[in-house]
Amino acid sequence: MKGAIGFAVAAATAMFSGVMAKPTFSAATAGTVVDPGTVAEMMVTELNTLNGTLVENPITTLGNTMTVRIHHNFNSNQQLYAYLIGRDRNDVPTVLQSNGQYFYPARVSGPVPTKISAPIGHKLSSKGGYVDIQIPDTLSSGRIYVSEGELTFSAVMSDLGYMSLVQPAFVDPQDVNANKFWGFVEFTLNDAGVFANISFVDFVGLVFSMKLTLGSGATQEVIGLQSDAIQKICQGLKEQSARDGKPWASHCMYRSDGTALRVLAPNIYADLHRDMDNYYDSYVNQVWDKYSREDLFINTQGSRGKVPCRVSGNVLKCQGDSMGFPKPTSRDIFGCNSGPFANTGDDLHRNILARLCAAFNRSELLLSGGNTTPSLGSSKYYTVDPTSHFSRLVHKYEVDGKGYAFSYDDVEVNGQNPAGVVAGAAPKLLEVWAGGRS
Ligand X SMILES: *[C@@H]1O[C@H](CO)[C@@H](O)[C@H](O)[C@H]1NC(C)=O
Stretch that binds ligand X, among 24-32, 182-190, 306-314, 429-437 (CB under 6 A): 182-190
User: Least distance in Å: CB of 265 to ligand X?
Assistant: 4
**Which amino acid belongs to residue 376?**
L
> Vertex 345, ends 339 and 351: CA angle to 5°?
90
In this structure, the strands spanning 372-373 and 296-299 are parallel
Among 45, 278, 322, 383, binds ligand X (CB under 6 A): 45
Contact 184, 144 (CB under 8 A): yes
Radius of gyration in angstroms for the set of CA atoms belonging to the chain, rounded to a whole number: 22
Among 26, 94, 174, 188, binds ligand X (CB under 6 A): 188
How far, in Å, CA of 343 to CA of 341, rounded? 6
**Which amino acid belongs to residue 12?**
A
**Bridge-partner residues for 93, per DSSP?**
87
Q: Does 44 engage in binding with ligand X (CB under 6 A)?
A: yes
Among 82, 252, 323, 358, binds ligand X (CB under 6 A): 358
Among 168, 183, 266, 435, binds ligand X (CB under 6 A): 266
List the alpha helices (DSSP H) in 127-276.
229-244, 266-272
Q: How many residues bind ligand X (CB under 6 A)?
A: 34
Q: Does 153 engage in binding with ligand X (CB under 6 A)?
A: no
Q: Does 269 engage in binding with ligand X (CB under 6 A)?
A: no
User: Least distance in Å: CB of 240 to ligand X?
Assistant: 13
Binding to ligand X by CB under 6 A, coded x per residue (else -) over 360-399, reads xx--------------------------x-xx--------
Among 7, 170, 325, 404, binds ligand X (CB under 6 A): 404
152-165: b or e for each residue (b if 16 or more CB lie within 10 Å)?
Answer: bbbbbbeeeeebbb
Q: Does 154 engage in binding with ligand X (CB under 6 A)?
A: no
User: Least distance in Å: CB of 434 to ligand X?
Assistant: 18
In this structure, the strands spanning 325-326 and 372-373 are unpaired
How far, in Å, CA of 85 to CA of 140, rounded? 9
How far, in Å, CA of 273 to CA of 270, rounded? 5
**Among all residues, whose Cβ is closest to ligand X?**
406
Helices 347-361/281-293 angle, 10° precision? 120
Q: Does 81 engage in binding with ligand X (CB under 6 A)?
A: no
Among 80, 237, 336, 399, binds ligand X (CB under 6 A): 336
User: Least distance in Å: CB of 233 to ligand X?
Assistant: 11
63 or 339, CB closer to ligand X?
339
Contact 436, 229 (CB under 8 A): yes
Question: Which one, of 159, 280, 261, lies nearest residue 205 by Cα?
Answer: 261
7 or 200, CB closer to ligand X?
200
89 or 255, CB closer to ligand X?
89
How far, in Å, CA of 202 to CA of 416, rounded? 22
DSSP, collapsed to helix, strand or coil, labels residue 242 as helix
User: Least distance in Å: CB of 421 to ligand X?
Assistant: 6
Q: Does 263 engage in binding with ligand X (CB under 6 A)?
A: no
The footprint of ligand X (CB under 6 A) covers: 44-46, 49, 51, 141, 158, 164, 186-188, 195, 197, 199, 201, 265-267, 333-336, 357-358, 360-361, 388, 390-391, 404-408
